[in-house]
Amino acid sequence: MDVSIIIVNWNTRDILRDCLESVYVCTKDIAFEVIVIDNASSDGSADMAKREFPQVRLVENSENKGFAAANNQGMRLARGRYVLLLNSDTVVLDAAIQRAVGFADSHPEAGVVGCRVLNADRSLQPTCFMFPSVLNILLWTTYVYKLFSRSRFWGRERMTWWNRDDVREVDVVTGCFMLVRREAIERVGPMDEQFFMYAEEADWCYRFSRAGYKRLFMPDAQIIHLGGASSDQIKPRMIAQWRKSTLLYFRKHKGPLALGAAWALLSMFYLTRVPYWVARAAVGRLRNRRQLRSARVLSEIHCDENGT
């Protein structure tokens, strides 16, 4: 088995159908299996997968275990030389998966391989980024990178100056398409399930880096990534989850001083966003509830003194 494709799904039935169809239509000349981990969806996702894609190996969880834990379930079942973590809100283009596998075969130093990601309109979606740091959070929270997007310093955190058009070693490969060598997984271990969602790929890539594996981006494989198909359903909660996961990364890898600085920067950022959300809620009636809910979440999450 060349590659085991693991897709974690939560209430994205129609998008999951498109993803699975693209995998089977566009993946040729390699031996692969597809493992879908359904995190207790209520929209009929699991029934659709069983009915329309009987060749899929389906795991139905009774609760939402989160992204890292669900992928680990899939990895325990996987038989491939490589494991591909693929988001349910993606569409595989051309021969993306076999190209990624071929690239990994020719680069044995790579523990992780990422590909070029496009938006639905085929414009570039910047993926891959630097490891979280106090400096990178400072640059992100000030939005200066938007003014100087071509600067290698101001745009360093998201690498906004790079067109994703060449092979390059990166810190973090984005989790929407993450091809991982089985040998590397066996050495480094699976994803850390403390990360329910967000920052799990940064933590994993950091551990691969410490073990001596490169994380490589290659532009010859492409996918479309819609983005946020699951998280947008509970966006305010995901705002809090992103902050929690980011601070967990700092606690795990950066020490107490960096953790405190990151906590202060994120708290300041979210508190300054509260007036913005309230103002938007006042202006647009149709979006009032969502804006006010976001404002409430943003005003509450800074109060956790432990940074969690």
Helix (H, G, I), strand (E, B) or coil at 127: coil
Phi (first) and psi of residue 218, to 5 degrees: -130, 130
Q: Which domain holds residue 168?
A: 3-128+164-225
Q: Which residue among 195, 225, 255 closes a domain?
A: 225
- Distance, in Å, from the CA atom of 148 to the CA atom of 95, rounded to the nearest integer, reads 35
7 and 55 inside one domain: yes
- Distance, in Å, from the CA atom of 100 to the CA atom of 222, rounded to the nearest integer, reads 9
Instruction: Output the pTM of the full model.
Output: 0.86
| Strand pairing class (110-118; 177-181) | antiparallel
Q: Which amino acid is at 135?
A: L
180 and 86 inside one domain: yes
Kindly state whether residue 267 falls inside one of the protein's structural domains: yes
Instruction: List, for residues 60-88, the tens digit of each pLDDT value.
Output: 999 999 999 999 999 999 999 999 999 99
Kindly state whether residue 143 falls inside one of the protein's structural domains: no
245 and 279 inside one domain: yes
CATH number of the domain encompassing residue 213: 3.90.550.10
> Which of 108, 160, 112, 100 is CA-nearest to residue 136?
160
196 and 293 inside one domain: no
DSSP 119: -
For residue 86, the surrounding DSSP H or E stretch is strand 82-86
Q: Are 176 and 225 in contact (CB under 8 A)?
A: yes
Reported confidence tier of residue 278, pLDDT bands at 50, 70, 90:
low
- Distance, in Å, from the CA atom of 167 to the CA atom of 99, rounded to the nearest integer, reads 13
Average of per-residue pLDDT across 33-50: 95
> Which of 198, 201, 225 is CA-nearest to residue 126?
225
Q: Structural domain tally of the chain?
A: 2
Instruction: List, for residues 171-198, the tens digit of each pLDDT value.
Output: 999 999 999 999 999 999 999 999 988 8
Q: Are 307 and 247 in contact (CB under 8 A)?
A: yes
Cα-based torsion angle of the residue sequence 219, 220, 222, 227 in order, rounded to the nearest 10 degrees: -10
Average of per-residue pLDDT across 35-64: 95
For position 235, what pLDDT does the model report?
Answer: 56
**Has residue 136 got a pLDDT over 50?**
yes
185 and 124 inside one domain: yes
Kindly state whether residue 159 falls inside one of the protein's structural domains: no
18 and 82 inside one domain: yes
48 and 186 inside one domain: yes
116 and 169 inside one domain: yes
Report the length, in residues, of the chain.
308
- Distance, in Å, from the CA atom of 103 to the CA atom of 219, rounded to the nearest integer, reads 10
Q: Which residue among 175, 206, 225 closes a domain?
A: 225
203 and 278 inside one domain: no
84 and 39 inside one domain: yes
119 and 210 inside one domain: yes
Kindly state whether residue 306 falls inside one of the protein's structural domains: no
Kindly state whether residue 155 falls inside one of the protein's structural domains: no
Q: Which of 9-18, 22-31, 127-136, 291-300 has the lowest mean pLDDT?
A: 291-300
Collect all residues with Cβ–Cβ distance below 8 Å to 57 and sequence separation of at least 6: 33, 34, 35, 36, 77
119 and 47 inside one domain: yes
